[in-house]
């Protein structure tokens, strides 16, 4: 049986990423535990005899996550930082990583050298050990590096994506949009912020923004609820404004739809004292913006003038050619 | 800077796998701990507050590890079994896996379905949870699945590749060679045998045979020593004999050089009572052959008539086109 089809309707791209994942979970049956212990959160939490272990995996692929314009060191750094961002999003501390390489036959040693220097520098900075991996030669000119990162809870708890309630506030770190202008590899994973947030009782759910706010917010939104946000609340990046001038789209379009922000999206409990929370943040992280985007409301209670998220889309991983 | 080169001498393939790994370890510097805690063993051992955690990663790639002739379920099973074999080789017990997919745009859903059913069935059989992963669309028609498997020590110790001494005996399970005729996906990972062996005091080193005995034996051989084996001792498989008829090579050539046997290669201490060890094996595993291949001797003491391993080669992962 061939893994390929000429009939578009039979292709994974026609199903779409979201439905494909639903299918995969179904196909896996009982071997796929519920999130956060399995598919569906930023990291999988694996109970251990010691602290909870966190595992996450993300690749960098030539022509997709980087191209000739990105320095090789930045590619190696990005590979690890993408995964660190997932550990940060659960309030974890990274421990060790394995890297699996699929190399085109003509991959240059000099490029690989630079790639590994970038990976090593980032690993040192965040105290991650690179403990193993695998190398294969790809038969199609494909070049990709697949990293799996292992971490553990930094404090007493980890923060999953679920748990938002009506009235809970939605916060985001930094500014959003325009990562194509360089942010997609120059970002800083929010590890220090993530562990700090995991220790705050006000925080009840968290994730990182990797596919764009408009798409990722769905993962934080419980059934029956919807995020109520005003346009004026969205922290639009300078890069999003520059992108908008080139694309003739609005800056908001880029802030909500562009992927690879790698900022933290935080849900703060409706009972919490927001002012106290914001002041504590500002004392601890005076140089990193924290913005209240809005609140979760019941679907039938979306106020007039709120952003219609359905009008914005995030990054779709599978597309028909 | 382009990751690709047109100058063959600058290609990773020209360097070769072994030297590339040496380079990578050098480039990584202190972020790459010594084996078995880093690159260089079947699994990486990560100290934890509980039992030692084992991590290993191996992919399956279309055109390399499988093709249209292999059933999709067998591909899914093979992906996990390859990694289970590495856990077995250290005497570990598997726990959880993440799978990263790089899909060509025209990958069929039906094929993926079968692939995941095979993966799930194998995961159930060996009590592994599939806890997460990632999906990307490959820009080159590439199709590959990258699995990282997490395990832990099953008993009081794990067995690494190092520790062989002069006079130590070399054993292998099953028979060798000819995996291309179907063994490369029909094999059974030696998990039960691995945990049993890890509990035997006689065993001082172990690994699985994945790139062919001639190549893999090097990883068990300490500096200054060499394996002394007679041709007649090698347990040649029926498949190796069938291959030999087609290729006009000797059956021994296939037994020593073919990859993907996924048998266990075991070093038994020179002080141990071999007869007692072999009898214990036979009582526990009456249906699986265990063969004493030979012993480790000093390089200048290789007896006449011993196999010259340099005349045989194993699987090389990187090749010039």
How far lies B80's CA from each of A135, B23, B74, B238, B257, in Å?
17, 29, 10, 25, 23
> What's the pLDDT score for residue A284?
98
Please state, rounded to an integer, the average pLDDT across all residues of chain A.
Answer: 86
The answer to whether the Cβ–Cβ distance between A68 and B2 falls below 8 Å is: yes
ipTM summary value: 0.88
> What's the pLDDT score for residue A17?
56
Total number of domains constituting chain A: 2
Query: Which residues in chain A are contacts of B140 at CB distance < 8 A?
Result: 63, 138, 140-142
Asked, for residue A32, whether it belongs to a domain, the answer is: no
Looking at the fold, whether A115 and A219 belong to one and the same domain comes out as: no
Contacts of B135 by beta carbon, 8 Å cutoff, 6+ apart:
A17, A20, A21, A317, A318, B100, B101, B103
Tens digit of each residue's pLDDT (9 = 90 or more) over B271-303: 999 999 999 999 999 999 999 999 999 999 999
pLDDT over threshold 60, residue B120: yes
Tens digit of each residue's pLDDT (9 = 90 or more) over A36-57: 443 544 444 344 547 778 889 9
* Nearest residue to A174 (alpha-carbon basis) of A158, A191, A190, A195: A190
CB B172 within 8 A of CB B136: no
Looking at the fold, whether B179 and B303 belong to one and the same domain comes out as: yes
> What's the pLDDT score for residue B31?
55
CB B272 within 8 A of CB B202: yes
> What's the pLDDT score for residue A45?
37
Distance from CA of A266 to the nearest CA of B (A): 22
Size of interface A-B (CB pairs under 8 A): 359
The answer to whether the Cβ–Cβ distance between B57 and A134 falls below 8 Å is: yes
> What's the pLDDT score for residue B287?
97
How far lies B290's CA from each of A164, B230, B286, B287, in Å?
58, 16, 10, 10
Query: Average pLDDT of B90-104?
Result: 87
> What's the pLDDT score for residue B17?
56
Looking at the fold, whether B175 and B296 belong to one and the same domain comes out as: yes
Question: A25: pLDDT confidence band, cut at 50, 70 and 90?
Answer: low
Please name every residue paired with A53 in a beta bridge, in sequence order, or none if there are none: A46, A152
Distance from CA of B251 to the nearest CA of A (A): 27
Tally DSSP H helices, then E strands, for chain B. 10, 10
Q: Name the residue with tokens 């011993």.
A: B306
Tens digit of each residue's pLDDT (9 = 90 or more) over B193-238: 999 999 999 999 999 999 899 989 988 999 999 999 999 999 999 9
Looking at the fold, whether A251 and A305 belong to one and the same domain comes out as: yes
Question: B136: pLDDT confidence band, cut at 50, 70 and 90?
Answer: confident
Instruction: Compute the distance between CA of residue A180 and CA of residue A182 in angstroms, rounded to an integer.
Output: 5
The answer to whether the Cβ–Cβ distance between B33 and A129 falls below 8 Å is: yes
CB B137 within 8 A of CB A317: yes
> What's the pLDDT score for residue A116?
85
DSSP-H helix ranges across chain B: 12-15, 17-28, 72-88, 109-125, 183-186, 191-199, 213-220, 238-247, 251-257, 274-284
Percent of chain B, pLDDT > 90? Answer: 56
What's the CATH code of the domain at B282? 3.90.650.10
Query: Of B119, B153, B187, which marks where a domain is finished?
Result: B153
Question: B20: pLDDT confidence band, cut at 50, 70 and 90?
Answer: low
Query: Which residues in chain B are contacts of A158 at CB distance < 8 A?
Result: none
Query: Which residues in chain B are contacts of A46 at CB distance < 8 A?
Result: 95-96, 129, 131, 150
CB B199 within 8 A of CB B272: no
Tens digit of each residue's pLDDT (9 = 90 or more) over A150-207: 988 888 888 988 889 999 999 999 999 999 999 899 999 999 999 999 999 999 999 9
Asked, for residue A295, whether it belongs to a domain, the answer is: yes
Query: Of B121, B153, B185, which marks where a domain is finished?
Result: B153
Looking at the fold, whether B236 and B280 belong to one and the same domain comes out as: yes
Distance from CA of B259 to the nearest CA of A (A): 14
Question: B47: pLDDT confidence band, cut at 50, 70 and 90?
Answer: very low
For residue A266, give its domain range. Answer: 169-311
Query: Average pLDDT of A265-269?
Result: 97
Which of A50, A131, A135 lies closest to B38 in CB terms? A131
Tens digit of each residue's pLDDT (9 = 90 or more) over A73-113: 999 999 999 999 999 998 989 988 888 889 887 888 888 88
Looking at the fold, whether A300 and A269 belong to one and the same domain comes out as: yes
Query: Of B105, B124, B153, which marks where a domain is finished?
Result: B153
CB B133 within 8 A of CB B100: yes
């Amino acid at each position: 049986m061939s893994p390929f089809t000429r009939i578009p309707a039979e292709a994974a791209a026609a199903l779409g990423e979201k439905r494909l994942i639903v299918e995969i979970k179904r196909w896996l049956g009982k071997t796929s535990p519920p999130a956060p212990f399995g598919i569906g959160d930023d990291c999988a939490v694996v109970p251990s005899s010691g602290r909870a272990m966190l595992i996450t995996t993300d690749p960098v692929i030539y022509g997709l996550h980087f191209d000739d314009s990105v320095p090789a060191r930045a590619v190696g750094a990005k590979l690890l930082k993408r995964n660190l961002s997932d550990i940060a999003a659960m309030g974890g501390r990274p421990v060790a990583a394995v890297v699996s390489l699929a190399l085109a036959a003509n991959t240059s040693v000099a490029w690989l050298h630079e790639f590994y220097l970038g990976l090593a520098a980032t690993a040192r900075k965040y105290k991650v050990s690179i403990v193993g991996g695998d190398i294969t030669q790809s038969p199609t000119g494909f070049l990709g590096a697949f990293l799996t990162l292992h971490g553990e809870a930094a404090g007493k708890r980890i923060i999953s994506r679920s748990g938002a309630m009506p009235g809970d506030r939605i916060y985001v770190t930094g500014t959003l949009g325009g990562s194509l202008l360089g942010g997609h590899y120059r970002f800083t994973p929010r590890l220090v912020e993530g562990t700090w947030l995991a220790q705050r009782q006000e925080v009840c759910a968290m994730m990182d923004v990797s596919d764009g706010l408009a798409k990722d917010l769905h993962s934080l939104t419980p059934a029956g609820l919807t995020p109520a946000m005003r346009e004026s609340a969205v922290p639009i990046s300078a890069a999003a404004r520059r992108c908008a001038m080139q694309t003739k789209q609005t800056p908001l379009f880029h802030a909500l739809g562009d992927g690879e922000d790698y900022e933290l999206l935080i849900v703060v409990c409706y009972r919490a004292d927001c002012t106290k929370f914001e002041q504590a943040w500002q004392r601890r992280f005076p140089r990193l913006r924290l913005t209240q985007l809005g609140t979760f409301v019941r679907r039938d209670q979306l106020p007039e003038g709120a952003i219609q998220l359905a009008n914005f889309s995030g990054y779709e991983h599978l597309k028909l050619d």
